[in-house]
Amino acid sequence: MQDKTFGYRIAKTIDADVVVCGGGVAGAMAAVAAARAGASVVLVERYGFLGGNATAGAVAQFNSWQTANGRRVVAGLADEVVARLGRYGGAGEHATFVMSTGHRMDRVEYAPEVLKLVLDDMVQEAGVRPLLHASVLDVRVAGRHIDSVHVLTKSGVVELRAQVLIDASGDIDALQRAGATFLELDDGEALQPATMMFRFGPIDFARFEALSKTEIAALARRGYDDGQLARAALHSSRDPFSADGWFNIGRLGIDATDAMALGAAEIEGRRQAWKAAQYLRRCVPGCEQGQLRAFGTQVGVRETRRIVGDHVLTSEELLRPEQFPDAIAAGAYPIDIHPAAGGELRYEGLGDDHAYQIPYRSLIPVGFDNALAVGRGVSATHSAHAAIRVMTISMAVGQAAGVAAAMAAQPSQAGHVRAVSTPALRERLLGDGAKLA
Ligand SMILES: Cc1cc2nc3c(=O)[nH]c(=O)nc-3n(C[C@H](O)[C@H](O)[C@H](O)COP(=O)(O)OP(=O)(O)OC[C@H]3O[C@@H](n4cnc5c(N)ncnc54)[C@H](O)[C@@H]3O)c2cc1C
């Protein structure tokens, strides 16, 4: 490969206590929590709106707030998001449903466009400075210390100097630029596929939802065998404002950090969605009058880079479940692996009252003193990530990282994230309504 060095001029420098790169649900919660804990915060996001997979990816349902028998394990800022969505009329109630695999869980369906407004409100009210339309370009490092993040904006390259960096970019682009190390897949593992979500309607939900699990499975199998569906599923969530549904039935086996592959997947994802919509119209009861109304702004990306952290969370620890003294969030979502090459989901349900914990050490990248990773970049094996990747848990982890970063940014700590007292962090999170078990 050719080695080239390009210079560029810094158009502007901004100082803050905490810089959060990536405004998905994990980054938005991290920014809000850090600002509410007293830090000055800049939130960098490449799009003109926040939410990531939750808005641009149009995932449209927050899954798994509680154990199968109904014990709440995620709350805090995530609850506030749902309450605010409700005030705009943009979310349904917590509803229990039974997966095709037989697992019982709860979810909240929401309107992705309204979530953009809710996240705008939350960051602005908290005093976070959002830097939208800004992409991570480079990171300057001195030894174990992140000095600054350079982002490309309409005003040119902006330098962001902070005590603490929180990488919430999903793909963990900032830490990648800083030279961090990432976990490898084991033999036989593949990155979870991406999916182009699409909105379809109107749907006669009375008839669609009256279909039995067996009927749905048979229709999905027929669509897949006929080459109309990319996976044998008719999984959707209902738009709270209309008789439309957001369908999650595409499958794109790519590494989304490969720019050419990502672009090709957007095109293929739209083709898959179009074909699936025709199948719904033709063959699925309740969908005869529907048409494809919208694609996600981009393909939803389930998995890319996961940091090597001070602790690598494993699926064995989730299944035991291991009790961590530095637990900063909890979850109850099962291990849910979509095979990239096709075929059935690997879905490992948990026991009725089973919840697991996420330790603070899994947010700390080895080799750096003043950085944290949140959301789908947390240090976890492929199979543990398959459980903790959902938005409920991402919001809880984001909240914890925000508070931790504000604590680390105190002058006495000089940005050192390992110097944060985890008992004090946990106490603060519990005081703010979070659940840790
Ligand atoms: C198809 C699909 C279905 C899913 N289904 C569910 C479900 O039903 N329920 C559930 O709870 N979860 C579900 N998930 C999982 C969930 O959506 C994600 O794991 C979660 O949203 C991760 O949040 P995040 O904030 O870590 O990352 P992301 O949502 O990926 O956010 C990252 C943010 O960083 C920004 N960014 C990225 N790179 C840069 C850069 N270089 N510079 C600046 N900004 C950058 C992005 O634009 C984005 O806003 C699903 C995911 C997918 C893909």
pLDDT along the chain (437 residues), means of 10: 72 98 98 98 98 98 94 97 97 85 86 98 98 98 97 97 98 98 95 97 96 94 96 93 96 97 98 98 98 98 98 97 98 90 77 94 98 98 97 98 98 96 98 98
Ligand 1 atom with the smallest distance to the CA of 194 is 53
Task: Check whether residue 286 and residue 313 sit in a common domain.
Answer: no
pLDDT at 354: 94
Task: Check whether residue 246 and residue 287 sit in a common domain.
Answer: yes
Task: Check whether residue 314 and residue 361 sit in a common domain.
Answer: yes
Of the three residues 295, 327, 346, the one that is the final residue of a domain is 295
Say yes or no: CB of residue 257 within 6 Å of ligand 1. no
Tell me, yes or no, whether 3 lies in a domain: no
Ligand 1 atom with the smallest distance to the CA of 302 is 53
CA of 112 to the centre of ligand 1 (A): 13
Contact 302, 203 (CB under 8 A): no
Contact 52, 3 (CB under 8 A): no
Ligand 1 atom with the smallest distance to the CA of 389 is 19
Site to probe by mutation for ligand 1, drawn from 390, 393, 397, 399 as the one with most ligand atoms within 8 Å of Cβ, is: 390
Going by alpha carbons, the residue nearest to atom 10 of ligand 1 is: 390
pLDDT at 375: 97
Task: Check whether residue 183 and residue 202 sit in a common domain.
Answer: no
Tell me, yes or no, whether 5 lies in a domain: no
Tell me, yes or no, whether 115 lies in a domain: yes
Extended strands (E) in 132-209: 135-142, 145-153, 156-167, 198-201
Task: Check whether residue 233 and residue 261 sit in a common domain.
Answer: yes
Going by alpha carbons, the residue nearest to atom 49 of ligand 1 is: 52
Say yes or no: CB of residue 170 within 6 Å of ligand 1. yes
Task: Check whether residue 288 and residue 362 sit in a common domain.
Answer: no
In this structure, what CATH number is given to the domain that contains residue 376? 3.50.50.60
Going by alpha carbons, the residue nearest to atom 39 of ligand 1 is: 169
Of the three residues 295, 329, 351, the one that is the final residue of a domain is 295
- Residue-range definition of the domain harbouring residue 248: 198-295
Q: Where does residue 254 rank: exposed (0-12), middle (13-18), buried (19+ CB within 10 A)?
A: buried
Say yes or no: CB of residue 300 within 6 Å of ligand 1. yes
Tell me, yes or no, whether 379 lies in a domain: yes
Tell me, yes or no, whether 1 lies in a domain: no
What does DSSP assign to residue 95?
E
- 20 CB neighbour count, 10 Å cutoff: 41
CA of 24 to the centre of ligand 1 (A): 6
Tell me, yes or no, whether 230 lies in a domain: yes
Say yes or no: CB of residue 22 within 6 Å of ligand 1. yes
Residues 210-217: contacts with CB under 8 Å, at least 24 apart: 210/286, 211/285, 211/286, 213/98, 213/100, 216/100, 217/100
Say yes or no: CB of residue 27 within 6 Å of ligand 1. yes
Ligand 1 atom with the smallest distance to the CA of 250 is 1
Establish whether the linkage from the previous residue to 359 is cis, with ω within 30° of 0.
no
CA of 26 to the centre of ligand 1 (A): 8
pLDDT at 1: 47
Tell me, yes or no, whether 4 lies in a domain: no
Going by alpha carbons, the residue nearest to atom 41 of ligand 1 is: 136
Task: Check whether residue 330 and residue 278 sit in a common domain.
Answer: no
Of the three residues 266, 295, 324, the one that is the final residue of a domain is 295
CA of 51 to the centre of ligand 1 (A): 7
CA of 14 to the centre of ligand 1 (A): 26
Say yes or no: CB of residue 168 within 6 Å of ligand 1. yes
Q: How far apart are CA 67 and CA 50, in angstroms?
A: 29
Overall number of domains in the chain: 2
pLDDT at 100: 67
Task: Check whether residue 175 and residue 244 sit in a common domain.
Answer: no
pLDDT at 5: 66
CA of 114 to the centre of ligand 1 (A): 17
Task: Check whether residue 203 and residue 169 sit in a common domain.
Answer: no
Task: Check whether residue 264 and residue 168 sit in a common domain.
Answer: no
CA of 255 to the centre of ligand 1 (A): 14
Cβ within 8 Å of residue 125, ≥6 positions away: none
Site to probe by mutation for ligand 1, drawn from 53, 158, 235 as the one with most ligand atoms within 8 Å of Cβ, is: 53
Tell me, yes or no, whether 241 lies in a domain: yes
Task: Check whether residue 284 and residue 313 sit in a common domain.
Answer: no
Strand partners, 108: 62
CA of 222 to the centre of ligand 1 (A): 30
